[in-house]
Amino acid sequence: MPTPHQRDFTLEPVDNERLANLAGPFDAHLRQIELRLGVEIANRGNVFRVTGRDEAPVAQAERLLRTLYAEAGEETFDGQSINLRMNAAGVEADAATGPRDDGDYVPQDVAIRVRRGTVRGRGPNQQKYLHSIATHDINFGVGPAGTGKTFLAVASAVEALNESRVQRLVLVRPAVEAGEKLGFLPGDLSQKVDPYLRPLYDALYEMLGVEKVLKLLEKNVIEIAPLAYMRGRTLNDAYVILDEAQNTTIEQMKMFLTRLGFGSTAVVTGDLSQIDLPKHVKSGLRDAVEVLHDVEGVSFTFFESGDVVRHPLVARIVGAYDRRDAQDASTGPA
């Protein structure tokens, strides 16, 4: 394992208001710099420690923090202004050499506090998933049904809303029929799309309670919408979840990922074994796994049948289908 590089320094003069402006709400600005440079930033008051795998990004982080602190007394920072200053300073995300998901990676335990109590990851993949959501702006959870992909994403979103780290939740699903032809559905727009979004409602009801969810929906603090309605929007200070992402096209996935604004987190969940798109259409989720796997700031967690937390029979069913699919892939079409 490479020896980490470390720098300790003090930002002067001591000024708590300036320090709070630099760090941002819940240290959001420091986390933004960490992700961009691939370093870890810790501080106790004005005393800072920056740690990274290479010397260059550690030194760059120190210079950036000193510059930002000098300007923090004159301007109130937000996510966008921090990003613009990093661009101006020539901070390159693709030069980051911070911790990556390798054999030495041990995720920190993440405890999520919601109405029903404390939610923790069960097993290493769920723990890695929660840690990735807490430390990355865009996260993919890919795997079979029953592994907690959507439930944990909604729990993380509810906690972020309760702690005012985001201003609203946006929960999105592609409106694709799961093998059946539903035909003409009467009613207004909400009544037409609600059947596709019901699993998201169910998770919210469990986390917050029905009455609170209905109130937040009325105030537009929680928005549940079909994917097509995301086009042309920019989502700032939001927690955005795209569920059933295996049923997006490549164009839809690219459109969704480029909606992300400052102060926002996106979680994309899907099961590549349950694609309901036409046979000739490639899944946007499958394409994103191939295209984005090396992009800094994007995390992927791949679940398996052993991660299923529903009835034990569900795990055995998933395993049986996986074995059949693997056999078909090895023998080729009959």
- Interval 221-248 mean pLDDT: 89
Beta strand extents in 12-64 (DSSP E only) = 40-44, 47-52
Q: Residues 228-256: what's their mean pLDDT?
A: 91
Kindly tell me if the per-residue pLDDT of 85 is higher than 90. Answer: no
Question: What sign for the dihedral angle of Cα 21, 22, 27, 31?
Answer: positive
Parse the chain into domains and list their residue ranges: 5-95, 111-331
CB 264 within 8 A of CB 301: no
**Cα–Cα dist 325/327, whole Å:** 5
Report cis status (omega within 30 of 0) of the bond before 124: no
Residue 219 has pLDDT above 60, yes or no: yes
Long-range interactions of 190-197: CB distance < 8 A, separation 24+:
193/225, 193/226, 196/226, 197/171, 197/173, 197/224, 197/225, 197/226
The answer on pLDDT for 94 being more than 50 is no
DSSP codes joined into one string, 213-246: HHHHHHTTSEEEEEGGGGTT--B-SEEEEE-SGG
Question: Nearest-CA neighbor of 249 among 298, 291, 286?
Answer: 286
Beta bridge partners of 270: 142
Which of 77-81, 152-156, 158-162, 287-291 has the weakest average pLDDT?
A: 77-81
pLDDT above 70 coverage of the chain, percent: 83
pTM attached to this predicted model: 0.68
In CATH terms, the fold of domain 5-95 is: Ribosomal Protein S8; Chain: A, domain 1 (3.30.1370)
| 3-state SS, residue 102 | coil
What digits encode the pLDDT tens for the residues 35-64? 778 889 999 999 999 998 889 899 999 999
* pLDDT higher at 217 or 196: 217
- Contact yes or no for 240/267 (Cβ under 8 A): yes
Band (131; pLDDT cuts 50, 70, 90): confident
Please say whether the structural domain 111-331 has been given the CATH code 3.40.50.300: yes
Q: What is the mean pLDDT of the chain?
A: 82
Q: What is the pLDDT of residue 105?
A: 46
Write a three-state SS string for 131-169: HHHHHCCEEEEECCCCCCHHHHHHHHHHHHHHCCCCCEE
pLDDT above 60 (res 96): no
pLDDT: which is higher, 142 or 311: 142
50/62 Cα distance (integer angstroms): 7
Question: So what's the pLDDT on residue 288?
Answer: 95
